Each structure stands twice: as structure tokens, then as C-alpha cells.
Amino acid sequence: MHEEQLLTTTVIVVLLLFVAAISAIVTRKISFPYTVGLVVVGMLLGLAASEISWLAPMQEIELSREIILFVILPTLLFDAAINVHAKVLLKSIAPILVLATIGLLISTAIVGVGMGQFSPLPLGVALLFGALISATDPVAVIALFRELGVNEQLSTLVDGESLFNDATAIVVFNLILAIVLTSGGSLGEYPIAAAVGNFLLVFFGGLLVGVTLGVTLIVLMRLAGDDVLAQIALTSVIAYVAFIVADYFLGLSGVMAVVGAGVFAAWRAKQIFAQEIRKYIASYWEYAAFVANSLIFLLIGLTEFEHFENFAQRADHLAYVAAAIAIVLVARAVVVYGLTPVINALSKADPVDRPYQHVMFWGGLRGAIPLALVLGLPRDFAYRPLLLDLTFGVVLFSLLVQGTTINKMLQVLKLSKAS
């Protein structure tokens, strides 16, 4: 029985990779965003699995919080971190941090208050939804940026904001969840100073863990000399160790730990290692990110199909999903168009002009982090079904509508080489 189960799992993984490779070829031929295409393919796979007996095992695949956070996310984060240009990141760090912290808190408040008014959610639970859905996931957009040769500052702004606001969203979500669970759905009484102190500890503590492990990684890589395979293996170990140690064992931000380790390692590697070695490492992580992206977006599609297959039983939630999509877009517009002029006035970095703001607004897709957070809610949590519907609805809209039109926006705004 165990052998059968192992064989089934292996066949499913191989089949998903095959589907991902074919999807990559097809989407490139028709100039369609690859990751968005995977979501569509995943939903079609779900439909096929419900009709074709030999595909039925695919229906048993469950996209869980643990799979997203501990299996897939460290790879995506580390790949993004080592590809962020350190100098450009430092130059844009002020707008990135403001958008990823103050911006996320503003978005959480707007979505929370809005959903508290237009849905049955109590204010505390509505703010919980606001925190999880405010985390942006630009994987599809960044892949498109690379294809179209978009300006490095814009890529860094979108990618950097996502890296940092993922960490902020997880910390804020966990804080609000702890309050809600102890007060039965309301906000209850919780000292603001303690919340702020906890946030700073988790956020910067995770960053410190990551940088420390990044230093360790560079030392070990230097000991490996010219053994590129050993160096690649070490980067994989550090990516996962950083996340697991910070998140699971220390209760700090695993996201910030991986980001800290990746950015520091990339910065030092550029000073120490030959270009050929860095090229091998970059190629490995590009492939690892391809596999991770393929699996996560196919699994999102499969889960979306299964979720919306049962949506007819909760048709009354449709209006709430529509309200959530509208409110999330309003919140994103307030954050980008409201905070960016202030950042431009106070920062010495190059100003973020209006075309960039348009792309940052429409390119703020939602993906893996919101799904991981909502799937991790306790099974007996009273509002879990509605929060699942709201999250899956917003994620699906952002991927299928925003993700498929961002290319046209870039061309209209003349921000790509193609234009």
C-alpha cells in the first residue's frame, strides 16, 4: 500500500512537471503570461480529473499552508532575493519599506473596515482578511518584466515591495488572529505598544537570523572552493534552514530570514566569486524557481476548481466576493497613489513617476501568501468558509484579469522594450 501511494505521488509530480513544460511552450507561443496560464491549466486539470478515472488521484492533492510555506515559498523567496540588485534595492529602500509596512497597514484597515460594512464579518475577522489579502505576489508580473526588458528600478520596486510586505502581512495576520481567537471574533483589548514591539521583534529578528546565515553561507561557499555543485547545495540548505529556524523554532519572520540571507549572499558573492560560478548558481535557482512556480500555480488552479465546484452551495457569498474585489482594488489605489507622492517628496531616491505608479497599482497581484494564510486557519473557525471564498475569489480575479492585462498596460505606457 505504501509503495502504491509513493508511486502515485511520483507519477502526479512528474505529470505536473510535464504539463508545466508544455504550458511554458504554449504560453510563450501565444504571448500569454506563463504563471497565469498555469492557473487556467490547473483548473482544466481539475475538470478533467473529475471526468477521467486515471486522472482521479489529482483530486486528492491538497494545497495546504505547510506545502506553500515550508516547501515552495523558501525557493521562490531565495530566488527573488539573490536576483534583486543590491544597489538598486538600497536606492529604492525608502519607498519599498513605506509601501510594505505603512502601506500594508493602511490597506489592511481599508479592507477590514470595508468588509466589516459590506459582509457579515465582525470587524476583527474583517481586519484579519484585510491583512492576508494585502500581501502582493508579483511572480507573474516579474516574469513578464524579464521577458519585456522592463526598467530595473520598476522591477525592483514591485519585487522589493512584495518581498517585504509578505513578511509584514504574515506578522500582522498572526497578531490579529491571536487577538480574534482570544476575543471571539472582535478586536478585544490589546495594547498597541505590545503589538508594535512584537511586530518589530518578529520582522527585524527574522532579518538578523537571515543575515547571520548569509554570512555562514559565504564562509562555507569559500571553503568549497571551485566545487560549484557543493556551493549550489549549500545555497539550498541555507534557504530552507533560514525559513524553518526563524519561523518554526524562533517564532520570527521566516520570509525576512530568507530575504536577508539571499540579499546578503548575493551581494557578497558578487565581490568574492567569479562570474562563471555565479552564473551556475543563478541558472540552478532559475530552474528551481521554475519548478516551484509551476507547482504552486498548477496547484492553485486545481484547488480553485475544487473550491468553486462547491461554490454553488454558497451562492450567497458571490456578492461578498465582488465587494471584496472592489474594496481590495480601492485599498491598493489609496496606498500607491496616496503614499507615493509623499515618498517622492521626502526621499532622495529617483521619484516614482505616474506610469510606474499605474503598474504598481495594477501589478499588485495576489497569490501564494494569502492562500497559505487562509488555508492555515483553524478548521473550526466560524468564518473560515467565507474567508476561503473571499480569498480564492480575489486571487483568481487578480491572476486572470490583472495578470493578463498588465502586458498591454506596459506597452501603452511605453515601459517595455517591445513598445
Question: At residue 339, does pLDDT exceed 70?
Answer: yes
More confident residue, 376 or 84: 376
Grid cell in block for residue 288: 528551481
Question: At residue 323, does pLDDT exceed 60?
Answer: yes
Which residues, at least 6 apart from 219, have a Cβ–Cβ distance to it below 8 Å? Answer: none
Give 86's pLDDT tier (boundaries 50, 70, 90).
Answer: confident
To the nearest whole percent, how much of the chain has pLDDT over 90?
Answer: 51
Q: How far apart are CA 58 and CA 137, in angstroms?
A: 25
pLDDT at position 245 is: 96
To the nearest whole percent, how much of the chain has pLDDT over 70?
Answer: 92
pLDDT at position 141 is: 66
159 and 138 Cβ atoms separated by less than 8 Å: yes
Please name the residue that has the C-alpha cell 541555507. Answer: 238
pLDDT at position 187 is: 61
Per residue, the 3-state secondary structure of the chain, as one string, reads: CHHHHHHHHHHHHHHHHHHHHHHHHHHHHCCCCHHHHHHHHHHHHHHHHHHCHHHHHHHHCCCCHHHHHHHHHHHHHHHHHHHCCHHHHHHCHHHHHHHHHHHHHHHHHHHHHHHHHHCCCCHHHHHHHHHHHCCCCCHHHHHHHHHHCCCHHHHHHHHHHHHHHHHHHHHHHHHHHHHHHHHCCCCCCCCHHHHHHHHHHHHHHHHHHHHHHHHHHHHHHHHCCCCHHHHHHHHHHHHHHHHHHHHHHCCCCHHHHHHHHHHHHHHHHHHHCCHHHHHHHHHHHHHHHHHHHHHHHHHHHHHHHHHHHCHHHHHHHHHHHHHHHHHHHHHHHHHHHHHHHHHHHHCCCCCCCHHHHHHHHHCCCCCHHHHHHHHCCCCCCCCHHHHHHHHHHHHHHHHHHHHHHHHHHHHHCCCCCCC
In Å, the largest CA–CA distance within the chain is 65
pLDDT at position 310 is: 65
Question: At residue 344, does pLDDT exceed 60?
Answer: yes
Which residues, at least 6 apart from 56, have a Cβ–Cβ distance to it below 8 Å? Answer: 49
Give 28's pLDDT tier (boundaries 50, 70, 90).
Answer: confident
Domain boundaries, the chain: 64-412
Least confident segment among 53-57, 68-72, 160-164, 227-231: 53-57
Give 185's pLDDT tier (boundaries 50, 70, 90).
Answer: low
Which residues, at least 6 apart from 395, have a Cβ–Cβ distance to it below 8 Å? Answer: 300, 304, 366, 367, 370, 371
Average pLDDT on 224-245 reads: 94
Please name the residue that has the C-alpha cell 480575489. Answer: 394
Question: What is the phi-psi region of residue 365: left when phi exceeds 0, alpha when psi lies from -120 to 50, beta otherwise?
Answer: beta
Question: At residue 306, does pLDDT exceed 90?
Answer: no
pLDDT at position 143 is: 66
Question: At residue 272, does pLDDT exceed 90?
Answer: no
pLDDT at position 49 is: 85
Grid cell in block for residue 157: 520596486
Q: How far apart are CA 45 and CA 61, in angstroms?
A: 12
Question: At residue 413, does pLDDT exceed 80?
Answer: yes
Report the CATH number of the 64-412 domain. Answer: 1.20.1530
Judging by beta carbons within 10 Å of its beta carbon (0-12, 13-18, 19+), is residue 287 exposed, middle or buried? exposed
For residue range 37-50, what is the model confidence (pLDDT) as tens digits?
999 999 999 888 88
pLDDT at position 144 is: 61
Grid cell in block for residue 265: 549572499
Question: At residue 362, does pLDDT exceed 70?
Answer: yes
More confident residue, 15 or 346: 15
Which residues, at least 6 apart from 100, have a Cβ–Cβ distance to it below 8 Å? Answer: 160, 161, 163, 164, 165, 167, 168
Average pLDDT on 25-42 reads: 88
Least confident segment among 195-199, 248-252, 386-390, 414-418: 414-418
Other beta carbons less than 10 A from residue 231's beta carbon: 23
